[in-house]
Amino acid sequence: MDKFIVKGGRRLTGEVTISGAKNAAVAILPAVILSDEPCVIENVPSISDVTISLRILSEMGAEVTNIGKDAYRIDPTGIDKCCVPYETARKMRASYYFLGALLGKFNQARVSMPGGCPLGDRPIDQHLKAFSALGAEYNLSQGMIDLSADKLTGNQIFFDVVTVGATMNAMLAAVKAEGLTVIENAAKEPHIVDLANFLNSMGANIMGAGTDVIKIRGVERLHGTNYAVIPDQIEAGTFMIAAAATKGDVLIKNVIPKHLESITKKLEKIGVNIEQYDDSIRVWCDGPLVKANVKTTPHPGFPTDMQPQIATLLTLAEGTSIVTEGVWEQRFRYVDELRRMGANITVNGKVALVEGTGRLMGAPVKACDLRAGAALIIAGLAAQGVTEIEDIFHIERGYDCMEGKLRALNAEIEKVSVPDKTSNKTDKKTAV
């Protein structure tokens, strides 16, 4: 078992380069299946969710070649099966993008129910609604999702709720469907636009990505392409808050400032200084942090994936802040861990009352999901004393070399391996 040991109290200073966006990469990689030729994908983050996606492609028959630090050549022409290996797929939520890609390519797909972070009820009913509208039939049994269609035909799809995953899956399934598909109440996140741009670079005809109505005119084939994944909005936001929490001064490079607007505006209200450039952003804090109210909503609102991080920052601010979660009902599971560090947070349903204490103390804690883990790192950096963070596999799902990047910014953080208690018990029993 690996864990992070963080010694707090050091200002973050220097420069950090943001990796490719996790939420874009985990959809773009399955999308390569739709191509009739090899593709080169650049700016791919080195995270476990990407590793799993590449493994799935390889196990299905694709030829995957690492051609640089963050670049892969993927030849999907050897894919000869429509079933994603169960044990691999169940390790991450984004495995469901293989449903849309395989259905769009072969008119059939078989994928296990997805895993990932336990953030509450995350049904796939809207995904299935989209696939059905395009002419597919589905069957759910023994943890597997089966899709099949004689052919896919364009149709009107209206989502009952704004959903990123279903919007992207509908796009994947519709790009080769016959006729016009209109997706209404579509999600508008940057990674949706990135997926559309990638598919269009292969010859797809997608219009309106980034608005709530996406129109897709089906095409017969898609060709190979070279494409670079956009920078990770959430990784950038996490480093912005880490800089603020430590009263640091950090230049964050390889970002799209437009994607960070909701985060930037909220941090400025809290008392953080921010200066924007073409593809970088400087964040520094030289005064007191003040209270603010935050409500997460779909893009262009404040992202739910930044909620634990900003709540952590607000524990260091003066006054009482209200944080309202508008997306995932179990996003506050990290609060118990922050309380171990001295945070004064009261949760009632989807609302948290954060009493700024101005200080946190190091303590042993556990990451309960990806963004909760990032929040605990920020707390550890700002705290007095030593913080030990367990279950860091959650963090490594979405952050590329988090500890290395932080050390380059003057943080005292190291990754250590410790014996797994469960494994030890098993070994002793075996020995007897």
The phi-psi region of residue 142 (left if phi > 0; otherwise alpha if psi is between -120 and 50; otherwise beta) is left
| Sheet with 180-184, side-by-side order of all strands | 156-158, 180-184, 213-217, 205-207
Of 233, 132, 131, 236, the closest CA to residue 192 belongs to 233
Q: What is the largest CA-CA distance in the chain?
A: 67
Q: Over the range 28-56, which residues count as b (16 or more CB within 10 Å of their CB) and which as e?
A: bbbbbbbbeebbbbebbbebbbbebbbeb
> How far does CA 24 lie from the centroid of its chain?
8
Q: Which two tokens stand for residue 262?
A: 């909701």
* Residue 117 is among the residues annotated as catalytic for this protein: yes
Question: Is residue 354 within 8 Å of residue 391, measured between CB atoms?
Answer: no
Six-digit token string for 189: 């996140």
On the 0-12 / 13-18 / 19+ scale of CB atoms within 10 A, 13 is middle
Look up residue 55 and give its two tokens.
């493994």
Region at 391 (left for phi over 0; alpha for psi -120 to 50; beta for the rest): left
> CA 60 → CA 30, 79, 244, 266, distances in Å?
11, 5, 44, 44
Indicate the residue type of 171. M
d(CA 215, CA 198): 15
Catalytic pick among 39, 82, 117, 285? 117
Residues 32/54, Cβ–Cβ less than 8 Å: no
Interatomic CA distance for residues 166 and 168, integer angstroms: 5
Spatial neighbors of 419 by CB under 8 A, at least 6 apart, are 1
Residue 288 structure tokens? 């007191």
Catalytic residue numbers read: 117
